[in-house]
């Protein structure tokens, strides 16, 4: 499956590597792992996203090379590359501002991703594997298919990607395939305890102050099968927190006995509401998100809906009340 991507990489000399807005560990880890590999084989690489790298993931960007499109000097940089590789996203909306810049150019594009709902025409060459636990796993397999060396920076980046999207091997997407890859990355130098501390053990005081107010909004719907909770701008600001500080909150609620679907509503500065959906295995979160123009995975998806908050909650919860429509068959 890697031959078209291999030929694409061999045919070009300079790449921009990018991923989705509000990048998570799989996005940043996949980008950096791929960038290190491309340089290993003599390619020039720029890593550029539409939004900032979360503070907790900046340890993967040792040289502070990830640029944010729109900052001074970033637009001309796109004129210095001859191809683009997009990872961990398969639609223009989630690519953000850099996506619009790429659409305005004629740069050849390749996409490596593991999400559902691939957008036709999004890239010239695409590898999509929804059975892969993480895009970082696909980058690992691509490097191995080319007999590339898994250096320590590559190993750290891809391991961070994998533990993010498997919840440190707790989620249902954890299988023999990803565990074997993780073991190989450990042989290349990854220290699991150290990586877990960096990715998940570096919460801010703002996160600690925000947790209580957010969890105090927790409500149950559909006889306890749906858990709903919210975060308003006022809560975030009062806690001195950021939206990145809320990473992991949804998984705390997901652990409640009897809950099949978690809906976490977060108010944005733009006025719309970002909704994170998590399933415990019976409900297709992607099918729900797709109804509202979102996407992701069967077990974890996301979307944006119009505000205000209560209107968003009423609209989404109403569509989810009959969970039998979204059961995984």
pLDDT (tens digit, 9 = 90+) per residue, 184-229?
999 999 999 999 999 988 888 999 999 999 999 999 999 999 999 9
Q: Can you give the pLDDT at residue 43?
A: 98
Same domain, 246 and 115: no
Across the chain, mean pLDDT equals 94
Same domain, 219 and 180: no
Q: Is the pLDDT of residue 329 over 80?
A: no
Q: How many domains does the chain have?
A: 2
Q: Is the pLDDT of residue 158 over 70?
A: yes
Same domain, 24 and 164: yes
Q: Can you give the pLDDT at residue 2?
A: 94
Q: What is the span of the domain harbouring residue 309?
A: 205-326
Helix 152-166 to helix 25-40 angle, to the nearest 10 degrees?
A: 160
Q: Is the pLDDT of residue 178 over 80?
A: yes
CA diameter of the chain: 58
Mean pLDDT over residues 302-307, rounded? Answer: 93
Which of these three, 200, 217, 236, is where a domain ends? Answer: 200
Q: Can you give the pLDDT at residue 256?
A: 95
Which of these three, 200, 216, 233, is where a domain ends? Answer: 200
Alpha carbons 277 and 152: distance in angstroms, whole number: 34
Same domain, 103 and 236: no
Same domain, 172 and 243: no
Listed in sequence order, the residues at least 6 apart from 168 whose beta carbon sits closer than 8 Å to its beta carbon are: 196, 200
Q: Look up the CATH number of the domain holding residue 235.
A: 3.10.310.30
Which of these three, 171, 200, 229, is where a domain ends? Answer: 200
Full strand arrangement of the beta sheet holding 300-305: 219-221, 226-231, 261-267, 273-279, 300-305, 295-296
What is the 8-class DSSP label of residue 53? P
Same domain, 228 and 125: no
Same domain, 239 and 320: yes
Same domain, 116 and 191: yes
Q: Look up the CATH number of the domain holding residue 56.
A: 3.90.1640.10
Confidence tier at 324 by pLDDT (50, 70, 90):
confident
99 closest CA partner among 112, 84, 114, 113:
84
Same domain, 181 and 256: no
Same domain, 24 and 127: yes
Instruction: Specify whether the CB–CB gap between 194 and 170 falls below 8 A.
Output: no
**Distances 320 to 16, 184, 222, 286, 327 between C-alpha atoms, Å:** 39, 41, 9, 12, 11
Give this prediction's pTM.
0.89
Full strand arrangement of the beta sheet holding 125-128: 67-68, 44-49, 14-18, 83-87, 109-113, 125-128
């Amino acid at each position: 499956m890697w031959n078209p991507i291999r030929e694409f990489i061999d045919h070009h000399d300079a790449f921009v590597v990018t991923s989705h807005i509000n990048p998570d560990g799989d996005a940043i880890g996949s980008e950096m792992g791929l960038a290190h590999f491309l340089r290993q084989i003599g390619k020039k690489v720029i890593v550029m996203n539409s939004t900032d790298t979360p503070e907790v993931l900046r340890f993967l960007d040792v040289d502070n090379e990830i640029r944010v499109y729109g900052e001074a000097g970033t637009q001309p940089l796109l004129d210095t590359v001859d191809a683009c590789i997009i990872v961990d996203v398969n639609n223009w909306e989630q690519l953000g501002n850099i996506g619009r810049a790429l659409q305005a150019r004629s740069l050849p594009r390749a996409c490596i991703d593991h999400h559902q709902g691939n957008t036709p025409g999004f890239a010239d060459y695409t590898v999509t594997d929804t059975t892969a636990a993480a895009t970082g796993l696909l980058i690992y397999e691509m490097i191995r298919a080319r007999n590339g060396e898994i250096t320590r920076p590559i190993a750290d980046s891809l391991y961070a990607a994998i533990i993010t999207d498997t919840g440190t091997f707790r989620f249902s997407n954890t299988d023999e395939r990803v565990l074997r890859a993780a073991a190989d990355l450990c042989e290349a130098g990854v220290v699991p305890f150290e990586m877990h501390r960096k990715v998940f053990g570096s919460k801010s005081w703002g996160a600690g102050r925000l947790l209580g107010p957010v969890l105090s909004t927790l409500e149950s719907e559909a006889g306890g099968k749906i858990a709903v909770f919210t975060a308003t701008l006022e809560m975030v600001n009062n806690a001195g927190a950021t939206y990145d500080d809320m990473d992991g909150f949804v998984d705390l609620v997901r652990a409640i006995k009897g809950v099949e679907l978690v809906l976490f509503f977060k108010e944005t500065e733009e006025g719309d509401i970002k909704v994170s959906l998590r399933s415990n295995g019976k409900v297709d979160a992607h099918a729900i998100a797709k109804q509202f123009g979102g996407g992701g995975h069967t077990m974890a998806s996301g979307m944006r809906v119009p505000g205000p908050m209560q209107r968003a909650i009423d609209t989404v919860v109403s569509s989810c009340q009959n969970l039998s429509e979204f059961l995984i068959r």
